[in-house]
Structure formats: structure tokens, C-alpha cells
Structure 1
Amino acid sequence: MKLFPHQDRALNDTYEQNKVAYYLDMGLGKTFVGSEKMWELNTPFNLVICQKSKIEDWKEHFETFYKDYQVIVFDKQKLESVPAESVIIINYDKVWRRDELMGLKNFTLMLDESSTIKNEKSHRSKFILKLRAVNVILLSGTPTGGKYEELWSQLHLLGWTITKKLFLKQFMVMDWDELNQQNKIIGYKNVDRLKAKLRKHGAIFMKTEEVFDLPKMNDVIVKIQGTKEYLEFARHHIIEIGEDLLVGDTATAKKLYLRQLASAYNQNKLSYVKDLIDSTNDRVIIFYNFKKEYAALVSLIDKPISTINGDLKDLSAYNDHEDSITLIQYQAGAMGLNLQKANKIIYFSLTDKSELFEQSKKRIHRIGQDRPCFYYYLLAAGSIEWRMLDVLKERKDYTDALFEEEL
């Protein structure tokens, strides 16, 4: 496996350490750095804890690049049945319910998006902090979310045994809150010392702009698990989902509903979007097509939202908040907008118009952009979306005629 120079550098800088944190910006390949470090550490067992939506990604990654491992998605198996040379994958919501993992010995622990344990009092954090791992690998693009106080749990796993009380005293500026009758954090101090301690305990920080010649366009294809509803509609051209009855009685209707079934009706894709936007504090642009998609996206986002569609044009959150999410309907916003404050676009669904597709990419890749641009294409497995992307890359529209040829 060929790594990028910045990935090699991260591994070389932590070669002597068995407890490390790779805080690499979104798009810099934390997955490859973390898994390569795991391979170097070479313990009989490896435990990977991640978000539910990332389980299949990790499974496919290890099966593709580390064929000597037996990869086990840990669900209902007995721990004693797990052989040596295994990678055990489990999600954060399940791990604390599997008490037998407390008996796991001689293993490397890897946390994907380690900021998930920022609340040391949660069930998941308490459980993970008690695990008896000999090696620890933490992966996150946003380890603190801008709040240093949220680092304590991760520092504990890295072997820094400072108490939470002393940690707050040394690095947080506190003030008394009369209303709530408690101390509150109003700032930070000794930050250089904190960063030095982090480096000493195996933390590597990398920002995108530090390692790429700018600007560069980077495509990221994400395979999303399909749904049984999509397959049923593809076979019978009719399906009832909740209160919605989808009837594909024409080629246009069939194409429309297949696209929606791959996006707004696909909970796997919605979960992935949620995890993806939670993994960064940067501005993110999301392109979508249909009102149902917009409603589904708004319901899951808990960050400042800007909207560009036929009913609303409001970029105030984009302009004022670095962690904002901007939802853009292709017809309304694929052309003409200057959005180079952002460098990440998520294609929740694809347009069938080549011009809109090409123009959408230019919203962030334009004069004034000084960072590499990342384009995340979320494509449902076995769906119409893969053929659509192939056609769009040929600078063609995905028409009803092309759709009918595939039926």
C-alpha cells in the first residue's frame, strides 16, 4: 500500500510510541494511517470502535488492504470464538453493552472519531476508559471541537494520568456563573504547554493546507448500503413507504422515485451524512434535488444552516459561522454563487444535468480558494446513482432515454 508523504511522516514521527492520536483533517486519510500503525503494532487482537455508519467502510478497508486479518463485525458472537490475528469492529452504541470485552487482553484499541468520548461520564466513555488495551490509536479530524476541555478522556487513553480537576485548573480560565451557581470556562491558558504535552503523548495534528499544493480537487466516492425498498420498487415499480405511495407508471416517474429511494428514503445515507458533517468543524456545502431530501437533511443537522432553493435564499449562516452547513438545490444554486469560504461539498444526490453538475463543483473551486477541495459522492449500492455519475463525468445529461436503455 502506497502512502502519501504526509501519512508516512505521521507514522515515522510516532514510530517509537504505542499510544498515539492522529488528528488529521478531513480528507487526509486517517483510516490508512491508523490501520498501518495497527499493523505495525502487531498484537493478536485489534478492537476498532466507530460510528454505526462506518462499520462496513472499516470492514471493506481491512479486507481489501490487510488480508491476513480475520475481520469480525462484533454483534452476537462469543468473545472466546474470536481467533488471533483478528480485527473486531463494533460501534459506539453497542460497545458498552458487551461486558465480555472487558476480558479482552493483549490488544490494540482504535477509536475512529475519538471525539465521540468527549463526555467522560457517558456510558460509552466510561466503558472504553476501563478497557485494558496495550496499544491505543485515536483518529479524529476534530478532536476538541474548539473546546480543549473535551480532550481529557482522549488524553487519559494516551497515558497522561492528569486528573480532570487538575487539567481544568492548569489549562482553563474559569469564572463564577452566578445564575447557575457554578464555575464556567471562559477561555484557555498555557496552550503552548498543552500542545507540547499532546505531542509528547503521541498526538499528531495536520491541517489540509499544510500538506497539499493548493488548490487541488479531490473526489471521494462513498459506497452507501442500499435498501430493500429500493430493490422492491426496482422490481415492481410500486411501493408504499409510511404514508407515501410511489408508483412508477412512466419512465420519468420510475427514474424520479429510484433517485429518491437512493437518497431521502435511504436511512443509511442520512446516517452517513450526519456522521460526516459531525466529523468536521469546517463549512460544508450539500447539494440536493428534491424537497423531501431537504426536509430529511434539515431534520438531522444540529449546526447553523444556510439554504439556497426555490423558496429560500439565505447565506447568513454560511457567512457568519465556520461550522455551518449550506444546503443548495441544484437549480437554484449550482451557478453563480461564490462559496470559496468552504472547501468541502457533499453530493447527497446527483443532478441529471451535466451543466449544473460541472457548475456546482466551481462554487468552491474558484479564485480566492486557498485550500484543496474535496467532493464527497454518496452513492447507494446497486442504485441508479452509479450510472448517473458515469454519464455526468462524460459531460452528458442523464436522460429518460438513457434510463430506459438500462431497464
Structure 2
Amino acid sequence: MPWSTTTELLPHQADAVAKLLPSRVGGLFAEMGTGKSRCLIELAARRRAKIDRVVWFCPVSIKETVRKEILKHTTCGEDDVYVFDDKTDAETIPLDRPWYVVGIESLSSSVRVVSALDALLDERTFVAVDESTFIKGPHSTRTRRITDMSRRARYRAVLTGTPFTQGVVDLYAQMSFLSPKILGYNSFWSFANNHLEYDTDRKTGRVTGRIIRSHNTGYLAAKIAPYVYQIRKDECLDLPGKLYEQRWVPQTLEQMEAARTAKEEVLADEGLYDSPHIAIFRLFSRLQAIACGFAGGCPVPHRRIDGLIDAIERIPEGEKVVVWTKYRQGLGDLARAIRDSYGTDSCREFHGGLDERARNREIDAWRREARFLVATQQSGGHGLTLVEASHAIFYSTSFKYSERAQAEDRIHRIGQNRPCTYLDVAVDCGIDRRIISAVESKGATLTAFRDELDACKRKGMRNRIRELVMTL
């Protein structure tokens, strides 16, 4: 059916569309909150005569957000947007809708979804992958399936705010989805041989799989330039500023003892010296869990929730608040503590244990009536627009700054007209001090520590390695 757009493009969005429209494939690397969904809708609108449908891949957690964006910016009605669900298959899927929204994660395991897409994708399809770092792994099942099936489509696009979460290695799969001709490599190994340098084990000489250096990045930049448009928030939007605060709470004796045991155990294991990156990742994860109040799946006495309630008490009464946590474990305790202090209807939850319908109900209820939304970064950190709040509390945060930045920008995007305040609740211990320091410097917590450890390892400084580990 004929449809059209109903909202005007902002100047930076118009520039993006003008750059990407002449090519059949393209990437929009737009920082969170700059309106990349509106750009994609415009590209589809201007190609209406050449396409029958748009297949929009996105994280499962934002399928409803994507559906609402389409309805918001076009004349399309509810029946024009088909959202894949747990009943979609090749026999029941309608083939006459202009829009199809598909959860990226479902391509990993659902043959049912793959068969439905197989019946849907053809030359007159426009395929877009939103949050395209979800297909950055060149050998993953979902990357291969999406890439192979989308070859039939006349038009293809990738959209993301963080194209390189781990460096240029992330570029290969995203560009290969668009076209292998962009980079000029028919396999990941050819790409890696020309652009990636891997670490090797000093004893065995084997490649460890850790990338230590990238080469010829200027060549890659030149190759992708004709097909990519980048939007930086600070260059195109007059958004209010960001403010940062911390609420530090003391360790309990039980946390101190659990952390000391964890560090002593890793120091006694030769794996720390033979495969330090694996050992340190496990130690970091274990120590952060202890700082958040649990060890080995068992509760550890802590004061972190006290810090959360103290942070909330300093926020003006009535202001909506998003509370982010890295872990689903313990999320229920956070919600209960908030409800005990502010009422049973004050808090809603958003996490991976809820199905899509339940998540959407929780978000809608938060917008209508509740003051607090408690969410995991993994489930809620991508794609959601939560500008009803201007305060976000990080009860615990990821080791990766890219994931932290995604969560921050759920409230700092188009539609926000107030300064955004971010409060970190942290325990006064080594692991949390490192995490907060990395947030302040926009760095990667694990990477910085691994670099220090590598320097000591090369010099054979076992005593210094021990000192470093014990500072955590």
C-alpha cells in the first residue's frame, strides 16, 4: 500500500540521507540519540518505487520501539508493520506488508524464523540491521545467516552508534553484510592477515586470539568512506549537558574476606602467568560480583543498596529515575528496596527474564505511572528512548565503556530538554575504583589492567604481578 512520511528531517538527518541515497548499500554510524531510525525511514520512503518491503533487524528488546518509530514518522497503520514473534513461520507470515521487524538474536537458533525470512527476502527488499555490532562476529551463526540471506536484497544498510567496540576487527562483518566489494576481501582471514596483529604465547608460540595491534587503518577508512556517513551528537544537536556524581559505600568485613580469598586463589594458580587474560577476566567478574553482594551465587552482606537509596533521596521528589544494573541476579532486591521506601507501585522492571510483551508492559507502565525503572544494561541498554527521566543511577556497570555509553544515552537523546545526571553507586574497594576511573576516562577497565599485567609479565616481575592483583 502507498505510504509516506509525516515528520520533517532535522538538518543532520537530511545530510545523512543525501549521502547514503545514491548507493544501494550504506552504513549510518550515528551516535545514540541523533535519530538514525528517522534516517532509515526516509531512505525507505525515497526508494518506495523500487522496493516492496523493508526488513528491519534489531535487538529483540527494541522491536516495539522500532514499531512505534515507524508509526510515529509515517502514515502507516498498525497492520502495516509486522513484528516477528514466537509464532511466525513460513506458512503463516503475510507477504504484503511494507514493514517487517525481526529480532537479531532469533537468527542464532530459530530455524522457524530463518524459514520465514527465506520466503520474504528477494530483490525488491530493503534490509537494514539496526545496532549492527550485533553481527560483528564474522563466524557467528546469526551473522552468517543474515548476511547470506540478505544478498538477494537490492538495498542493504547498517546502523549503529558504536561501530568499533573492539577496534577495526568489528568492521569486517558489518561491511561484508553490505558488500564484500567494499573492503575487497572474500574471507575474514584475508582481512586479518592484512590488518590485525595477534598476541602469541611466549612458551608455545601459538596465537592467543587477542588482537594487540591494527595495521593499514588508513586504507580501511578510505575504502569505507564512500559508503558510510557519521553523525556526532555534539556536532548536530543542542542537547543539555551531562553531570556525573558518585555515592561511595564502605565494604563489609564479609566482602573484604571474600575478595581476599578470590585474589589469593588466582595468584596460586599458574594460569595467571600462562593465560593471564582469561584468569584476570574471571577475577574481575568475581570481584565485581562480590562488590555487588554475592559470591558463587550466594549472598554476601553489603551496603550497596543503602548507597542506592541514599542516591535516590538526593534526587528531587517526583523525578523519574532509571536504575541500571549489570546483573540480573540481585535486581529483585533492588526493586524491593525501592518499593519498600517509595511504595509498591513506584517501580517497574526490565530484564532478560521477561518476554517481549511483558517488557513492553513494564516500559509503558513506567511512563504512565511509576517513578523508577530498574533495568539490566544487557536488555535495556540498546535502542530504548527513556527521555521521561533525566536521572540515571548505575548500581553496577559494565567493564566496556561502549556498553556504558549506550545505557547513558537512553535518557540523553532527541526529546530531552533537561541536563542529565548520572550517579554511580560504588563500593570503596579496588575493583570499583578501577571501574569508576575507567568511566571517567572513557576507557576499558579490563584492557587497562591487562596492559599493566603484560608489561610485568614480559619483564618476569612476579612480585609486581602479585602487587597489582592485590590492589583490586
TM-score by structure 2 length?
Answer: 0.52
Q: CA deviation at 1:30?
A: 1.2
- Mapping of residues 360-399 of structure 1, within 5 Å: none
SS in 2 for 1:137: strand
Aligned with 2:211: secondary structure? strand
Structure 1's 302 and 189: CA in aligned 2 closer, same or farther, altered over 3 A?
A: closer
Distance 1:278 1:245 in 2: 21
Alignment-derived partner of residue 72 in structure 1: 82
Contact in 2 for aligned 1:7/1:29 (Cα 8 Å) = yes
- Per the TM alignment, residue 17 of structure 1 is displaced from its structure 2 partner at its CA by 0.8
2:194 to 170, 179, 182: 170
Alignment of 1:184-203 (within 5 A): 184-200=210-226, 202-203=227-228
Corresponding letter in the other structure for 2:88: Q
Q: Which structure shows the higher strand fraction?
A: 1
Residues 5 and 181 (structure 1), Cα distance of their counterparts in 2 relative to 1, 3 Å cut: same
1:13 and 2:19 matched: yes
Instruction: Give the partner amino acid of 1:116.
Output: F
Q: Which residue is equivalent to 1:157?
A: 177
1:259 maps to a residue whose letter is S
CA distance in 2, matches of 1:257, 1:325: 37
1:210 and 2:210 matched = no
Encode CA deviations 1:31-50: one digit per residue, 9 max, x unaligned.
Answer: 11122112222211211111
Q: CA RMSD in A?
A: 4.2
**Per-residue deviation, residues 89-113 of structure 1 (Å, max 9, x unmatched):** 1111223422221232121111110
For 2:346 and 2:205, the matched residues in 1 are separated by 50
Question: Quick one: which of 154, 158, 162 aligns to 1:134?
Answer: 154
State which of 61, 72, 77 in structure 1 corresponds to 2:69: 61
Match of 2:378 in 1: 274
Q: Deviations over 1:52-96 (max 9, x none)?
A: 110110111112222337101112234464243421111112234
Identify the residue that residue 343 of structure 2 maps to in structure 1. Answer: 256
- Give, as a single letter, the amino acid of the residue that structure 2 aligns with 1:50: C
Aligned length: 291
Percent same amino acid among aligned pairs?
19
Which residue matches 1:4? 10
Which residue among 411, 414, 436 is the counterpart of 1:318?
436
Bigger helix share: 2
Matched, 1:48 2:48: no
**Alpha carbons of structure 1 residues 157 and 309: separation in structure 2 relative to 1, 3 Å:** closer
Gaps of 5+ in 1: 225-240, 280-284, 327-407
- State the one-letter code of the partner of 2:143: S
For residue 92 of structure 1, the aligned residue among 86, 101, 104 is 104
Letter in 2 for 1:137: A
The residue that corresponds to 2:118 in the other structure is: 102
Shift of residue 118 of structure 1?
Answer: 1.0
User: 1:311, CA displacement in angstroms?
Assistant: 6.1
* One of 24, 34, 39 as aligned partner of 2:40: 34
2:140 corresponds to: 122
- Which runs of no fewer than 5 residues in structure 2 stay unpaired? 1-6, 244-318, 323-330, 360-372, 384-389, 405-421, 446-472
- In 1, Cα distance between equivalents of 2:231 and 2:102: 27
Q: Residue 205 of structure 1 aligns to which amino acid in structure 2?
A: Q
Answer whether contact 1:118 1:154 (CA < 8 A) is retained: yes
Letter in structure 1 aligned against 2:118 = M
What are the residue-to-residue correspondences of 1:223-302 with 2, within 5 Å? 255-261=342-348, 268=359, 273-275=377-379, 277=381, 287-288=392-393, 294=395, 301-302=398-399
Is the Cα–Cα contact under 8 Å of residues 68 and 85 in structure 1 kept in the other structure? no
Distance 1:172 1:44 in 2: 40
TM-score by length of structure 1 reads: 0.60
- Tell me the SS of whatever aligns to 2:180: coil
Aligned mates of 1:145, 1:264 — CA distance in 2: 23
Deviation at 1:16, TM superposition (A): 0.5
Counterpart of 2:407 in structure 1 is none
Give the match for residue 382 of structure 1. Answer: none
CA contact (8 A) 1:102 1:130 kept: no
What SS class does the counterpart of residue 155 from structure 1 fall into?
helix
